[in-house]
Amino acid sequence: MKAFVLMPFDSEFDTVFDDLIRQPLEEAGYSVERADTGLDQRNILQDVVEGIARADLIIADLTASNPNVFYELGVCHGLGIPTVLITQSMEDVPFDLRSYRCFPYSTHFQNAPALRERLKEIGEQHRDGKLRFGSPVTDHLETHTPRVEEREESETHETEDVLTEAEAEENGLLDFVVEGEASATQIGEVVTELATGLNSLGSKTNAHTRELETLGDGSSQGSAVRANRIALSVAKDMTEYSDLVRDRLPDLESATDSFFDNSTGYIDWLSNRSDNAEETILSFRKTITELLKATGYAISGVRSYRESVINLRKTKISRAIGRASVLLTQATDRLIGVFERIEAYCTKLLGEINSL
């Protein structure tokens, strides 16, 4: 199988391609090419489009909002090719694309392995036919390109050999009820844990700040020592929360993917019902509306605290706080990215629900 990678033509992405993308996909059984690998400079666009058309899987790095990458991504969506979105910052991802799988990654040595592990898993699941991919084209057009239709026809024949139409429909509903509710519960638990931790951290930071203010300019005997101890406590609290976010984000991202997949399946099931499903639709709309509202509050809270952390770092009160604040800013950026993805998907789901 072939994988084709879209990313900016810049040497700073060479390591990302070689170490974080090509290596795990080759381990999953793919031959991997980058959009600027071995291209004929006389007609780069032709080579890129042909590379896309031959690919079984596309990896598109949206870092820095490169216009060439977005154009090539549009070609992929138009052709109906399974595409995985990655980025170093969710701020580079337009809102319309945040409702699709988009995996934030870091080139920091502690966090880089996460992308390798995720891409290897995705490659293996795609190779085995276990992943479902969406795009604005397939989601919003009733007619599909020939390539998409060929895939759907092939998948339909394979399904008919195993399940009857009624069995497939029933299994789809049961999958949502069991897996969807389990993943929704997990999302709630992780969000509550992270929100509680952030509130606790905020209270501790405010208390320590008041302590520092009582010490004045640090000229009194022993005040500098006490100020340093307080600063170390602040840094310790910030680092512990950063570690909590780092440890729990994979669970939140996994639960979010599962919930969205099952929600999409559930909407498909509802749209094919001939009986009156109005009560079920209203209940589902309420669930998504509440999740959207809670996510909005969460984004607002995390952004507010993130701004406080940045302002604290600007004071240069201590090196320990400076280092801890960098880690915490990175952690909250990732957390905001996941929350914004949930927000975008809930907005998309509500649109689909309202059209039922």
Q: What is the CATH number of the domain that holds 77?
A: 3.40.50.450
| Cα–Cα nearest to 131, from 99, 84, 175, 178 | 84
Which domain range does residue 131 map to? 2-158
Read off the pLDDT of residues 149-170 as tens digits, 9 standing for 90 and up.
444 444 433 333 333 444 444 4
Q: Which residues are within 8 A (CB) of 302 and not within 5 positions of it... i.e. 6 or more apart? A: 198, 332, 335, 336, 339
Residues 199 and 313 placed together within one structural domain of the fold: yes
d(CA 351, CA 80): 22
Residues 196 and 316 placed together within one structural domain of the fold: yes
Q: Which residues are within 8 A (CB) of 51 and not within 5 positions of it... i.e. 6 or more apart? A: 4, 33, 35
- Which run of H or E residues covers position 102? strand 102-104
* 339 pLDDT more than 80: yes
| Cα–Cα nearest to 9, from 104, 30, 17 | 17
Residues 145 and 279 placed together within one structural domain of the fold: no
Query: 104: which strand partners?
Result: 87
Token reading at 224:
């500098």
Residues 171 and 317 placed together within one structural domain of the fold: yes
Residues 268 and 152 placed together within one structural domain of the fold: no
115 falls in which pLDDT band (50, 70, 90)? confident
* 146 pLDDT more than 50: no
d(CA 79, CA 60): 15
Residues 186 and 148 placed together within one structural domain of the fold: no
What's residue 253's pLDDT?
83
Residues 126 and 255 placed together within one structural domain of the fold: no
Read off the pLDDT of residues 19-51 as tens digits, 9 standing for 90 and up.
999 999 999 999 999 876 555 555 677 888 889
The 3-state DSSP class for residue 36 equals coil
Residues 142 and 61 placed together within one structural domain of the fold: yes
| Cα–Cα nearest to 318, from 239, 241, 229 | 229
Sign of the four-CA dihedral 79, 84, 85, 87: negative
Single out the residue in 119, 143, 158 at which a domain terminates: 158
The 3-state DSSP class for residue 66 equals coil
Read off the pLDDT of residues 222-277 as tens digits, 9 standing for 90 and up.
677 888 888 899 899 999 999 999 888 888 888 888 887 777 777 777 777 656 56
Percent of the chain with pLDDT strictly greater than 70:
83
Q: Which amino acid is at 300?
A: S
Residues 238 and 293 placed together within one structural domain of the fold: yes
Residues 257 and 117 placed together within one structural domain of the fold: no
Residues 209 and 348 placed together within one structural domain of the fold: yes
Instruction: Determine if the pTM surpasses 0.75.
Output: no
Burial class from Cβ neighbours inside 10 Å (0-12, 13-18, 19+) for residue 241 reads buried
- Distance of alpha carbon 71 from its chain centroid, rounded? 21
Q: Which residues are within 8 A (CB) of 171 and not within 5 positions of it... i.e. 6 or more apart? A: 163
CATH number of the domain bearing residue 276:
1.20.1050
Q: Which residues are within 8 A (CB) of 12 and not within 5 positions of it... i.e. 6 or more apart? A: none
Most confident by average pLDDT, 74-83, 315-324, 332-341 = 74-83
Single out the residue in 158, 178, 206 at which a domain terminates: 158
d(CA 262, CA 178): 9
Residues 136 and 172 placed together within one structural domain of the fold: no
d(CA 307, CA 309): 5
For the chain, the domain total comes to 2
Single out the residue in 124, 158, 192 at which a domain terminates: 158
Read off the pLDDT of residues 179-213 as tens digits, 9 standing for 90 and up.
777 787 788 888 888 888 888 988 888 888 888 77
